[in-house]
Structure 1
Amino acid sequence: MTEQLGNGDLGGVLSREQIQTLLRRDPPLVSGMPDPEMQLQPNGVDLTVASVARFSGAGAVTVDNAGRRLPGTELLPPDASGRWTLAPGPYLVRFSETVNLPASCMAYARPRSSLLRCGAALHTAVWDAGYSGQGVALLVVYNPDGFVLEQRARIVQLVFHWLGQPAAEGYRGAYQGETGQPAP
């Protein structure tokens, strides 16, 4: 099915109005937003942090994924006020929202500028057409004095792109349908 939801041709960045249309679908493009009006941007949707974990152990990536080994993670509980005080270093963050990309759409996650201005960076991967789940990102605190992060804070903007034509086969990788806790 061709997805024409506005004046743009396939292959462009989705506008707020196109995203709003996809949010009304079943399944919605993004669900579980704590504050949809605040999270919806002119060219994307802000995702919020659900959990933060510390890495424990080494990981491995191999040519054929047969030897792929994810490092262990230790979930860090927020304090009584719902905040994490993070020392410099790497952390795995899980987003609160569930993303459901149709076969005609992919996305990039880009850090919000406030994060960068605090001395922290967020590293993400491509969100392939057909992916569904609560994604993760690598948060690296570079500020030598640390960084305070509040649960449900908006930390990344997911920018959606129409594909030139729908993917014949959507994402079918190991992370399809991921939810809840950081990856083991």
Structure 2
Amino acid sequence: MVMSVISGRDALSYLESFADREIQEQICGIDLTARSIERFVSSGSIDLDNSERRVAETEVVQYDEDGWAFLEQGAYLVTFNEIVRMPMDMMAFALPRSSLLRCGASLSAAVWDPGYNGRSQSLLVVHNPHGIRIKKNARLMQLVFITMKGAAERAYSGAYQGENI
């Protein structure tokens, strides 16, 4: 079997809890939408074996009465609405939507490993010195699914398995 990108229509079955399934289906993936946004309020620590790992503390950015959050220049943690359930013969990666980039912000994300199940998070960085407004359920990034040459030998079993479900 050759590795290949899965169409958005075929990838729909690997996600649940859509804000709007029809709008989120793309040609080469699925758009993930903003559930919550948090600002960093402490430092974090990373080591080799995770025995001293401490993730940075965060506080929730409140949406206003119309569902908008204003984000000043800086780094934020975004939690997405969608729950991702990765099959054992697939992995995924994400790219920011071009509209986000054109507003002066970017997203960074890790790989979605085979066997991962959970509500994902990514790093949102606002580069624009004037900030950005993000509406609740805004489409921020596109998750792209790739079939692997064969099934993975083991499933993801890290600390974030089942996160925020």
Bin for the TM-score computed over the shorter chain? over 0.9
Deviations 1:128-155 (A, max 9, x none): 1110100100101010001000000000
Partner SS state of residue 23, structure 2: helix
1:16 aligns with 2:8: yes
Deviations 1:22-52 (A, max 9, x none): x1xxxxx000012111101111000000000
Looking at secondary structure, tell me which structure has more strand per residue: 2
Partner SS state of residue 63, structure 1: coil
**Equivalent residue runs for 1:57-136 within 5 Å:** 57-136=42-121
Larger Rg: 1
Provide closer, same or farther for how the CA distance between residues 80 and 177 of structure 1 changes in structure 2, counting only shifts above 3 A.
same
Runs of 4 or more consecutive aligned structure 1 residues displaced over 6 Å after TM superposition: none
TM-score, structure 2 normalization: 0.97
Q: CA deviation at 1:19?
A: 2.3
Partner SS state of residue 60, structure 1: coil
1:30 is aligned to 15
Give the AA of the match of 1:43.
C
Partner SS state of residue 70, structure 2: strand
Partner SS state of residue 5, structure 2: coil
Give the AA of the match of 2:80.
F
Alignment gaps of 5+ in structure 2: none
CA distance in 1, matches of 2:108, 2:84: 18
Give the AA of the match of 2:3.
G
CA distance in 2, matches of 1:10, 1:81: 47
CA distance in 2, matches of 1:76, 1:19: 30
Give the AA of the match of 2:26.
Q
Task: Give the length in aligned residue pairs.
Answer: 165
Percentage of identical aligned residues: 44
2:163 is aligned to 178
Q: CA deviation at 1:17?
A: 4.1
Give the AA of the match of 2:147.
W
CA distance in 2, matches of 1:124, 1:117: 18
Q: CA deviation at 1:16?
A: 3.2
TM-score, structure 1 normalization: 0.87
Q: CA deviation at 1:77?
A: 1.2
Alignment gaps of 5+ in structure 1: 1-8, 24-28
Q: CA deviation at 1:176?
A: 0.3
